[in-house]
Amino acid sequence: MVAEMFPILLLLVVVMAMVAGMFVMTHMLGPRRPGDIKLSPYESGMEPVGEPRTRFSIRFYIIAMLFVLFDIEVVFFYPWAVVYKKLLSQGAFILIEMLVFIGLLFVGYMYAWKRGALEWE
């Protein structure tokens, strides 16, 4: 059992040693030029305005989640489009299956729209 895991453990040790070596070498060889701007909370040179812990509207997070959700679902169109002609010989099943998928996406989009999740006030 240990003999089977030895290459993985060796790889883990080598990677950890490389990461530690990179951190140490960066700390030792990296430039150190502290200054007023570098020591400020933001390196843009502008003084921060307001509290750092401001509250965002929940709508921002809802729209961000919906974007990620629909973006990931659209990724499924690419493999379908690539193999569409090859799988078309099996009948219209692949087309019907994708139409059902698009229908479900549309129903989810309409639900989010009707609930007001896409409106920004």
Q: pTM of the prediction?
A: 0.49
Residue type, position 95, single letter:
L
Chain segment 13-23, per-residue pLDDT in tens:
999 999 999 99
Chain segment 58-77, per-residue pLDDT in tens:
888 888 888 888 888 888 88
